[in-house]
């Protein structure tokens, strides 16, 4: 289940950021009464699928099984953020090794009866600014696969990585509507097409809910980004309609424009984006 999209953005001269974007749906196949073959699919559209370190320029998303990844990723972020497990000067590849080892050790002690396949995507910035990398760790049927990835071999736009059960649906949707548009190969096109795809009636049934976005920029630590979806605010897949300090988060609308969290208006000096033609 899930749709995961990642890309690396560039300004006029160099790479400037990397993003992970996901949907929010969690699905279950629930068996009917004993002796009956029918199953009922049940969905919940508020599941968390992205994570961000506070003290290191790394972000994580996942697809596939939900229980193990959410447990192990949240623990890894909290524990490793303490700084006690990274040596001074650890670069992205060094941090990936620690995260990877932590995840693998946790799965060793996980009950075989409930093990299900999953894929974890780690993205981050190297010590040298303007250099971003991504690493994919997957487990299926007692076998681990891992690799650093610059982009999919059949990337629909520069630096794109697409994972999850909605992968083929999104590729087809993007190619039909966005590939030949003025948004192609821009961050706005990636994010807009993703949000747009989640509103379609023929959306892959295991994908849904509001988009979630997390980013690493050239400077500072990762940012979890609030989204506007169908005119409502969301953070990490949950609708936000209670009084909080909305300005403590960066907010983006369905066109990936920077907006104010309280009034859902463009921030000052924000560039107005024309509608898709």
| Each residue's pLDDT tens digit, 28-38 | 877 656 655 56
Q: What pLDDT score was predicted for residue 42? A: 87
Q: What is the mean pLDDT of residues 243-258?
A: 88
Q: Indicate whether 53 belongs to any domain.
A: yes
Q: What pLDDT score was predicted for residue 39? A: 64
Please, are residues 10 and 16 in contact by the beta-carbon 8 Å criterion?
yes
Using pLDDT thresholds of 50, 70 and 90, give the confidence band for residue 40.
low
Count of other CB atoms within 10 angstroms of residue 147: 9
Look at residue 265 and tell me whether its pLDDT is greater than 80. Answer: yes
Q: What is the CATH number of the domain that holds 208?
A: 3.60.20.10
Higher pLDDT, 17 or 84: 17
Q: Indicate whether 274 belongs to any domain.
A: no
Q: What pLDDT score was predicted for residue 32? A: 57
Q: What pLDDT score was predicted for residue 248? A: 84
Q: What pLDDT score was predicted for residue 153? A: 86
Q: What pLDDT score was predicted for residue 19? A: 98
Q: Indicate whether 14 belongs to any domain.
A: yes
**Structural tokens at position 174:** 């993007």
| pLDDT tens digits for range 73-128 | 999 999 999 988 898 889 999 999 999 999 999 999 999 999 999 999 999 999 98
Using pLDDT thresholds of 50, 70 and 90, give the confidence band for residue 129.
confident
Report how many helices (DSSP H) and strands (DSSP E) the chain contains, helices first: 4, 16
Q: What pLDDT score was predicted for residue 109? A: 92
Backbone angles phi, psi at 234, to 5 degrees: -140, 145
Q: What pLDDT score was predicted for residue 268? A: 79
Q: What pLDDT score was predicted for residue 274? A: 67
Indicate yes or no: pTM above 0.85.
Answer: yes
**Structural tokens at position 49:** 């699928």
**Structural tokens at position 68:** 């193990």
Q: What is the mean pLDDT of residues 212-238?
A: 95
Q: Indicate whether 269 belongs to any domain.
A: no
Q: What is the mean pLDDT of residues 202-209?
A: 90
Using pLDDT thresholds of 50, 70 and 90, give the confidence band for residue 207.
very high
Please provide the average confidence, as pLDDT, over all residues in the chain. Answer: 91
**Structural tokens at position 130:** 């303007």
Strands (E), the chain: 4-10, 15-22, 26-31, 39-44, 50-52, 58-64, 118-125, 132-140, 143-148, 161-163, 212-217, 223-229, 232-235, 238-239, 250-252, 258-259
CA-based max dimension of the chain: 63
Q: Which domain holds residue 67?
A: 4-259
Q: Which residues contact 92 (CB under 8 A, 6 or more apart)?
A: 57, 58, 124, 125, 126, 127, 133
Q: Indicate whether 266 belongs to any domain.
A: no
Total count of domains within the chain = 1
Q: In what order do the strands lie in the sheet with 143-148?
A: 50-52, 58-64, 118-125, 132-140, 143-148
Q: Indicate whether 223 belongs to any domain.
A: yes
Look at residue 277 and tell me whether its pLDDT is greater than 70. Answer: no
Higher pLDDT, 260 or 243: 260
**Structural tokens at position 45:** 């559209």
Q: What pLDDT score was predicted for residue 204? A: 86
Look at residue 137 and tell me whether its pLDDT is greater than 60. Answer: yes
Q: What pLDDT score was predicted for residue 272? A: 73
Q: Indicate whether 265 belongs to any domain.
A: no
Look at residue 271 and tell me whether its pLDDT is greater than 80. Answer: no
């Amino acid at each position: 289940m899930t749709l995961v999209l990642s890309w690396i953005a560039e300004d006029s001269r160099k790479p400037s950021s990397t993003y992970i974007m996901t949907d929010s749906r969690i699905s279950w196949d629930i068996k009917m009464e004993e002796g009956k073959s029918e199953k009922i699919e049940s969905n919940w559209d508020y599941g968390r699928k992205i994570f961000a370190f506070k003290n290191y320029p790394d972000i994580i998303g996942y697809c596939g099984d939900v229980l193990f990844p959410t447990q192990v990723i949240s623990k890894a972020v909290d524990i490793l953020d303490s700084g006690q497990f990274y040596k001074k000067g650890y670069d992205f590849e060094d941090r990936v090794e620690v995260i990877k080892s932590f995840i693998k050790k946790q799965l060793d002690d996980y009950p075989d009866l409930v093990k299900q396949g999953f894929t974890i995507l780690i993205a981050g910035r190297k010590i040298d600014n303007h250099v971003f990398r991504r690493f994919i760790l997957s487990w299926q049927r007692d076998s681990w696969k891992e690799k650093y990835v610059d982009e999919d071999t059949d990337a629909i736009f520069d630096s794109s990585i697409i994972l999850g059960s909605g992968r083929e649906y999104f590729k087809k949707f993007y190619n039909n509507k966005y590939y030949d548009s003025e948004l192609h190969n821009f961050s706005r096109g990636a994010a807009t097409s993703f949000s747009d795809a989640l509103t379609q009636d023929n959306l892959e049934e295991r994908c849904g809910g509001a988009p979630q976005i997390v980013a690493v920029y050239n400077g500072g630590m990762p940012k979890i980004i609030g989204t506007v979806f169908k005119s409502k605010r969301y953070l990490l897949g949950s609708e936000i309609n209670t009084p909080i300090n909305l300005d403590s988060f960066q907010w983006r609308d369905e066109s990936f424009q920077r907006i104010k969290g309280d009034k859902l208006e463009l921030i000052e000096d924000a560039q107005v984006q024309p509608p898709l033609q």
